[in-house]
Amino acid sequence: MIDAETYKQFKITGKILTDHRYNTSHSGNISMRSGGKILIKRRGAMLGYLEPEDIIETDLYNTDSGIMLSSTETDVHRQIYLNTDAMAVIHAHNPFCVILSLLEDEITCLDAEGIYMYRKIPVIEVENPAGPIDAAREVPKILQNYPIVVVRAHGVFAKGNTLYDALQNVTGAEQSAMIRYYTMMTGKPLKRDYSQEKFFTEW
């Protein structure tokens, strides 16, 4: 049985993702690493209305019976844990991040908060964006060096030490993407373009 504090993190995180319309009623998935186990949203569960029984435990290293109930993207989460320092992972369908992924190869932050947190948000392209196989292979490579990555046309994967840390990366990246999108829509030149500055390219 999942403990009360862990369930609280899952419940709050799931509700925020849904309330902010980063996910539809049943899309997206969230997980935490717990020793040699992964705690992850149950397949088909409504992210904004998670109950304790909607958190499935499955083995980190081997396929076990938990995989039958857990998210269809469990293997993406597993590979992130095995290949990065992540202790929590969120997959969401951030609208502005997805929009910009269809236009750009990386999202350059223009706002001060985004510049401080991310500088830029990588975008990757895989053959099957909605499937877990390609994402499980490619996403961990990026998350070794960045806190969040966008899979073109699909959504974001973010890591953190806790679900709240990962949630901050999801919401922060989306805010920066929204600001960039609306700034681009004005058609006016930037007074300062951080992407052209030397220190920026070194990240």
Asked if pLDDT for residue 68 goes beyond 70, the answer is no
d(CA 178, CA 126): 23
The predicted pLDDT at position 194 comes to 75
Torsion of CA 152, 155, 160, 163, to 10 degrees: 180
Asked if pLDDT for residue 70 goes beyond 90, the answer is no
Give the mean pLDDT of 57-65: 83
Q: How confident is the model at residue 173 (pLDDT cuts 50, 70, 90)?
A: very high
Asked if pLDDT for residue 99 goes beyond 70, the answer is yes
Give the sign of the dihedral formed by CA 96, CA 169, CA 92, CA 156: positive
Asked if pLDDT for residue 101 goes beyond 90, the answer is yes
Asked if pLDDT for residue 83 goes beyond 90, the answer is yes
CB 105 within 8 A of CB 123: yes
What are the structural domains, with CATH classification, of the chain? 4-188 (3.40.225.10)
**114-146: per-residue pLDDT in tens?**
998 998 899 999 998 887 889 999 999 999 999
Asked if pLDDT for residue 107 goes beyond 90, the answer is yes
The DSSP letter of residue 94 is -
Percentage above 90 pLDDT, the chain: 75
> In DSSP terms, which residues pair with 155 in a beta bridge?
151
The predicted pLDDT at position 202 comes to 62
Asked if pLDDT for residue 200 goes beyond 80, the answer is no
Least confident of 58-72, 82-96, 177-191: 58-72
pTM of the shown model: 0.92
| Between 68 and 48, the higher pLDDT residue | 48
Q: How confident is the model at residue 63 (pLDDT cuts 50, 70, 90)?
A: confident
